[in-house]
Amino acid sequence: MSTRVATTSRAAASSNGGVLAARRRLGALRRRLDDAVRNDLGFPNSTDLDITPLVDLLRRSANNVGYPGRPTNGFRSHTLEEEFEAVQCVAGLLRAPTDDRTGLVTSGSTAAIRHALLHARDRFRKVVVYASTAAHTCVRKVAHQLRIPFVAVPASPGGEMDYTELAAVVARRRRGGVPVVVATIGTTMFEAIDDVGRVHLALDAASVPSEARHVHADAALAGLALAGLPPATRPGFDFADGADSINISGHKFLGTPEPCGILVIRRSACADAVDAVTYTGSVDLTMDGSRSGHTPLMLWWALQQFSPDVLHRRAEVSRANARTAVDWLTTAGIPAGRHEHAFTVVLPRPPEPFLDTWPLAVEGDWAHIICMPGKALDDVHRFVTDYVAVMRPPQIPARPVPIPPAREPAPKRAELKDAIAC
């Protein structure tokens, strides 16, 4: 009886005052989210993707239960074709071999890395995950979730993996399991890039057989930005450089408003790889049941709007903005710097109250801004002006930012010489 009364009165409340109050909340929320974007140079989300043409579709139900590129038994409320196309497009940009690749859209890069590590574990049974101390914290978290031992490899002060240390720790743990190395392509703090070629050389040095290793490239932030660089100057990070699987985030460089990610993996590196000739569907490597049909659509749309040329141009504008920011800061007497292809500008950590107006990622003595596509140079200038005004000698260290000069990519391993780019 009392339950019924309570239910009825709640329904009555929500049909008048409740809905009006909720609508006001929505207005306030919109203002807060718009405001958050204005001073956001600390976090790596692009803001130039226009999804207006999708808004009407996003009101419709779309559930990608199943696997992209696979028959759906008559169920039609999905965007699996768009998901398949988006994954294939990204696979092409990352030079995955056309006859040995599969993948899917995930809820983000963490989920994509979880899929990749699960494949490696199920394929080799006993594995050990290695990632540098500058790798994203999700790698350790995912290894823990999957009950895989995790070994942190030291990184240089600039954030790149120490390959000599990698060879040493792998050699020491040879009997622990097959090494699964997660290379970071754009570390969270400095946007440093681990060299997949050098990772392989380190595994060679530790006498790890080619067929008993898995190298995953966590390219959440920088993968699609680097993909447009000419092969001769591009850091070694993609499939043609020896990666077995790669993830990217949709909400970072592409700027989808909803978080999402893509995993691309060699079909031959999947746990239950099946013969592509006798079995037309790809292996099912989803870890979920129902999956969003909206995020694959956003990714597909982003890749229509941003052709490979446009992706590269956006990346070059961001790099130019980052370069300009470094110039402005160093001219003002502040040590600042960036890795060769990075959008990330590393600078001394500002005093705490400054972070209320300009939220920044900070670590130890350093902080960074990221000049993502869609962030105007005017905003960067506003930031630099405010920042320089609060930075006084005690906060300005005499030492330079810990970023070494750029160097040549590792020479290609003999067996990768003929890697097919597509």
Ligand X SMILES: *Cc1c(COP(=O)(O)O)cnc(C)c1O
Residue of 220, 224, 299, 371 interacting with ligand X (CB under 6 A) = 220
Considering beta carbons, is residue 136 or 234 the nearer one to ligand X?
Answer: 136
Give residues 24-43 in contact with ligand X (rule: CB under 6 A): none
| 255 is an interface residue for ligand X by CB under 6 A | no
Minimum CB separation from ligand X for residue 139, in Å? 7
Considering beta carbons, is residue 77 or 137 the nearer one to ligand X?
Answer: 137
Nearest to 224 by CA among 91, 368, 421: 91
Minimum CB separation from ligand X for residue 44, in Å? 7
Site string for ligand X, 183-212 (x = CB under 6 A): -x-x-x------------------------
Question: Other C-beta atoms within 10 Å of 184: how many?
Answer: 28
DSSP class per residue in 270-316 = STT---TTT--SPP-----SS-BSHHHHHHHHHHHHS-HHHHHHHHH
| 321 is an interface residue for ligand X by CB under 6 A | no
Nearest to 183 by CA among 236, 224, 141: 236
| 138 is an interface residue for ligand X by CB under 6 A | yes
Question: Other C-beta atoms within 10 Å of 91: how many?
Answer: 23
Half-sphere exposure of 77 (CA within 13 A, CB side): 9
| 249 is an interface residue for ligand X by CB under 6 A | yes
Minimum CB separation from ligand X for residue 105, in Å? 12
Considering beta carbons, is residue 108 or 293 the nearer one to ligand X?
Answer: 108
Considering beta carbons, is residue 89 or 182 the nearer one to ligand X?
Answer: 182
Question: Quick check: 371 and 318 in contact, CB under 8 A?
Answer: yes
| 159 is an interface residue for ligand X by CB under 6 A | no
**Number of amino acids touching ligand X (CB under 6 A):** 14
Residue 220 CA: distances (Å) to CA of 9, 266, 408 = 48, 18, 23
Supply 158's token pair: 């600039």
| 221 is an interface residue for ligand X by CB under 6 A | yes
Residue of 46, 88, 102, 109 interacting with ligand X (CB under 6 A) = 109
Pairing of strands 361-363, 366-370: antiparallel
| 370 is an interface residue for ligand X by CB under 6 A | no
| 295 is an interface residue for ligand X by CB under 6 A | no
Element (H, E) at 217: strand 214-218
Across-strand partners of 410?
none
Question: Quick check: 294 and 58 in contact, CB under 8 A?
Answer: yes
Supply 227's token pair: 């993909």
- Only segment of 108-116, 147-155, 169-177, 226-234 that touches ligand X (CB under 6 A): 108-116
Half-sphere exposure of 47 (CA within 13 A, CB side): 17
Return d(Cα 207, Cα 193) in angstroms, integer: 24
In this chain, which residue has its C-beta nearest to ligand X?
108
- Only segment of 7-15, 161-169, 213-221, 286-294 that touches ligand X (CB under 6 A): 213-221
Element (H, E) at 32: helix 17-38
| 108 is an interface residue for ligand X by CB under 6 A | yes
Considering beta carbons, is residue 208 or 248 the nearer one to ligand X?
Answer: 248
| 292 is an interface residue for ligand X by CB under 6 A | no
Considering beta carbons, is residue 153 or 391 the nearer one to ligand X?
Answer: 153
Return d(Cα 373, Cα 359) in angstroms, integer: 18
Minimum CB separation from ligand X for residue 136, in Å? 3
Q: By the criterion CB under 6 A, which residues form the site for ligand X?
A: 108-110, 136, 138, 184, 186, 188, 218, 220-221, 249, 259, 261
